[in-house]
């Protein structure tokens, strides 16, 4: 924040020497390359580790298949034995079967014992018992796997269990003995861990790995290392967590000996799990060695680059320093006495500075002349704007005074015309003259009223008297007034008001004035017999009133300025029918004071026009004018001509003519 403030105040930012920057170039070049190489090395190490994981998983799966084949072979051999003739005889010759089974199985599998049990756990034979002691063998509790063999009639291997006869931990392979088409007995061959330990040790010797076999209860059956020490041991907590996470996978954790290994496991259909581990330090050591070599090479390259940059930077810095000392004289267009450095780019820069200095001096002089001319033009523009604003204020004040002064004589004239019209006797010519005077005076009064309304609009002197207004009633009054007017009598004015139009918050006099001005404009620019359609509809937000005529229409390019003050698009019609171009400007001002909007639409000359007025249900708070105390009325000045006061003396009833189209109806005619 402080540095930003200093820079904004004009203080230069922190600068570095060119030699320092040149020496930073090797670091800028070498360091990203080192980082990129490190990233690539890390990615390659990760890929190598992934490949190691894959090889470990493949080795685990291969060993799992080998153990499955071994178990399947034992089960198949027992199934063949279960069909031996000596066992199928009635009664079975168990002595001969025992000898026969040992001769067939012992060369392949190291059996601890072979037993035959029925469904109730009664032992027909058990090789652990001497032949003379086999009579009256006590029944044993069948294992879950043995009950499953009776139910499924399929061979099954057990988990690690303690033999009720010998008390040793072992596993058993169980096959059904089928008699008369159903399992009559179960042949159970108990195996010690030696066979599987030898199998795992042989596999580990080929791959230099630690191989472990767990049963379905995660108890160790066999291991390639220290098998007797860990036989029957439950898996360690990290191994247990891994084995319980899924049927297969790979993860790092410590072995029983405390070494960190990469482990892969595969669960067999019997519920046993094969776990194969290999040292993780091998892959990490390779990664660390490669990164150390890379860092040494990078530091060496960086040192060489810094030395070369220091030598080269010293020469370039001398030349640049000399050029910097002479730059000020070059920019002034004078010779600097520069000594050529022999560096092509620096010497070219010196020549460029010489050329730029001469051009800059010429540009500065030209800019000074342009700035002076711009200042003179700006002063002239300000003076002209001030003069135009003063003229505009004078115009507004003149119109206000003119409308007031023109309106003051009108009541006496109207009264006198009224008296003349009632005087007797009058000739036909006199009555005609009185009628002409009365009509022209009324026309003059409308023009003066329009000027007064224009003055109120420009000075912001119109105040709204807001209250709930029945929109339909105001529209109907305005339409009736338009139909009763002179030109309105030969127009076909139709009215269509949507049901439920409701009320709005508005000044009813000003809303009626808006509608009368819009209707008067439609009558003024249409022909006798033309139709004028008035439509009104509303919603929850506001009310829209549309007045559509079949008159002369409006050019599309004139629609944007139709609501301007004193705008008359067709001077021929305006001169023939009277008007100052104030009515539509007053419509827009009054509608906007209510928070509404007005727009004009026309397809062109001769296609008629549509004026749409939208008024909100509630006038926005920011549109409500403040209540301003009206200043005390100024003292009436003494007229330059005393006839004004004298002529106003004779009293007479006021003449109240029908409001003509296009004229405004002020609240208080005496208010300028």
Q: Map tokens 């007479």 to a residue.
A: 652
Q: Tell which residue, 408, 406, 419, 440, has the closest CA to residue 653.
A: 419
Query: Over the Cα atoms of the chain, what is R_g?
Result: 58
Query: pLDDT tens digit string along 516-541?
Result: 889 988 888 888 888 899 999 989 89
Q: Record the pTM.
A: 0.41
| CATH (residue range 456-623) | 3.30.565.10
Distance CA 115, CA 123 (A): 7
The pLDDT of 50-70, averaged and rounded, is 86
CA dihedral 254, 256, 261, 263 (to 10 degrees): -100
Q: Tell which residue, 456, 427, 67, has the closest CA to residue 273.
A: 67
Residues 482/661, Cβ–Cβ less than 8 Å: yes
The SS3 assignment for 624 reads coil
The pLDDT of 186-199, averaged and rounded, is 82
- Tell me what the pLDDT averaged over the chain comes to: 76
Q: What b/e readout covers 280-312, taking b as 16+ CB neighbours within 10 angstroms?
A: beebeeebeebeeeeeeebeeebeebbeebeee
Domain boundaries, the chain: 456-623
How confident is the model at residue 640, as a pLDDT?
A: 41
Strand ranges inside 78-132, DSSP E: 111-117, 123-126
Residues 188/126, Cβ–Cβ less than 8 Å: no
Query: pLDDT tens digit string along 542-592?
Result: 999 999 998 888 888 888 788 877 777 665 555 445 566 777 888 888 898
| Residue 490 DSSP symbol | G
Distance CA 485, CA 481 (A): 6
CA distances, 198 to each of 78, 87, 110, 112 (Å): 21, 32, 11, 16
| Residue 219 DSSP symbol | B
Percent of the chain with pLDDT over 90: 9
Residues 464/436, Cβ–Cβ less than 8 Å: no
Distance CA 20, CA 313 (A): 8
At 280, the pLDDT band (50, 70, 90 cuts) reads confident
How confident is the model at residue 111, as a pLDDT?
A: 67
How confident is the model at residue 14, as a pLDDT?
A: 63
Q: Which tops the pLDDT comparison, 231 or 581? A: 231
Query: pLDDT tens digit string along 117-148?
Result: 888 888 877 776 665 445 556 777 888 888 88
Tokens read off for 664: 């405004």
């Amino acid at each position: 924040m402080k540095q930003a403030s200093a820079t904004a105040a004009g203080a230069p930012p922190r600068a570095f020497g060119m030699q320092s920057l040149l020496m930073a170039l090797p670091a800028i070049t070498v360091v990203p390359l080192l980082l990129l190489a490190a990233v690539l090395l890390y990615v390659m190490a990760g890929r190598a580790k992934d490949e190691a994981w894959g090889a470990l998983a493949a080795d685990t799966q291969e060993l799992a298949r080998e153990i499955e084949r071994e178990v399947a072979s034992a089960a198949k051999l027992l199934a063949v034995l279960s069909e031996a003739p000596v066992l199928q005889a009635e009664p079975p010759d168990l002595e001969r079967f025992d000898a026969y089974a040992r001769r067939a199985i012992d060369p392949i599998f190291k059996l601890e014992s072979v037993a035959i049990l029925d469904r109730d756990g009664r032992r027909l034979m058990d090789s652990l018992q001497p032949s003379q002691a086999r009579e009256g063998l006590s029944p044993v509790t069948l294992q879950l796997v043995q009950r499953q063999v009776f139910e499924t009639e399929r061979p099954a291997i057990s988990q690690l269990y303690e033999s009720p006869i010998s008390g040793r931990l072992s596993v058993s392979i169980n096959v059904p003995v089928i008699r008369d088409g159903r399992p009559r007995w179960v042949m159970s061959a108990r195996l010690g861990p030696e066979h599987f330990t030898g199998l795992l040790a042989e596999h580990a010797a080929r791959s230099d790995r630690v191989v472990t076999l767990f049963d379905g209860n995660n108890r160790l059956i066999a291991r390639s290392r220290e098998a007797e020490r860990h036989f029957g041991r439950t898996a360690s907590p990290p191994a247990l967590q891994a084995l319980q996470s899924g049927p297969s996978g790979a993860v790092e954790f410590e072995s029983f000996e405390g070494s960190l290994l990469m482990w892969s496991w595969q669960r067999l259909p019997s519920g046993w799990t094969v776990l194969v581990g290999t040292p993780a330090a091998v892959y990490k050591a390779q990664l660390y060695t490669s990164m150390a070599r890379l860092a040494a090479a990078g530091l060496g390259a960086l040192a060489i680059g810094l030395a070369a940059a220091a030598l080269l930077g010293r020469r370039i810095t001398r030349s640049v320093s000399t050029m910097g000392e002479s730059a000020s004289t070059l920019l002034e267009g004078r010779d600097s006495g520069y000594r050529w450095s022999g560096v092509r780019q620096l010497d070219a820069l010196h020549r460029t500075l010489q050329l730029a200095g001469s051009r800059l001096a010429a540009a500065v002089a030209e800019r000074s002349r342009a700035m002076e001319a711009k200042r003179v033009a700006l002063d002239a523009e300000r003076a002209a704007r001030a003069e135009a604003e003063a003229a505009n204020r004078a115009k507004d004040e003149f119109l206000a005074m003119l409308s007031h002064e023109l309106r003051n004589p009108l009541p006496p004239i109207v009264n006198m015309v009224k008296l003349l019209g009632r005087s007797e006797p009058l000739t036909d010519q006199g009555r005609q003259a009185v009628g002409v005077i009365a009509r022209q005076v009324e026309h003059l009064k409308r023009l003066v009223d329009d000027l007064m309304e224009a003055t109120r609009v420009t000075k912001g002197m119109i105040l709204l008297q807001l209250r709930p207004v029945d929109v339909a009633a105001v529209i109907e009054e305005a339409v009736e007034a338009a139909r009763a007017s002179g030109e309105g009598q030969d127009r076909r004015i139709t009215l269509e008001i949507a049901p439920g139009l409701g009320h709005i918050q508005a000044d009813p006099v000003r809303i009626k004035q808006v509608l009368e001005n819009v209707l008067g404009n439609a009558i003024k620019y249409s022909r006798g017999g033309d139709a004028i359609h008035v439509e009104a509809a509303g919603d929850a937000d506001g009310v829209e009133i549309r007045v559509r005529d079949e008159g002369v229409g409006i050019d599309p390019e004139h629609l944007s300025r139709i609501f301007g003050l004193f705008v008359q698009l067709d001077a021929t019609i305006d001169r023939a029918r009277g008007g100052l171009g104030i009515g539509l400007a007053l419509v827009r001002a009054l509608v906007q004071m209510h928070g509404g909007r007005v727009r004009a639409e026309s397809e062109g000359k001769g296609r008629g026009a549509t004026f749409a007025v939208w008024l909100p249900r509630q006038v926005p708070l920011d549109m409500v004018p403040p209540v301003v105390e009206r200043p005390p009325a100024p003292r009436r000045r003494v007229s330059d001509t005393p006839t004004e006061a004298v002529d106003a003396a004779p009293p007479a009833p006021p003449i109240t003519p029908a409001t003509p189209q296009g004229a405004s109806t002020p609240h208080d005619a005496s208010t300028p």
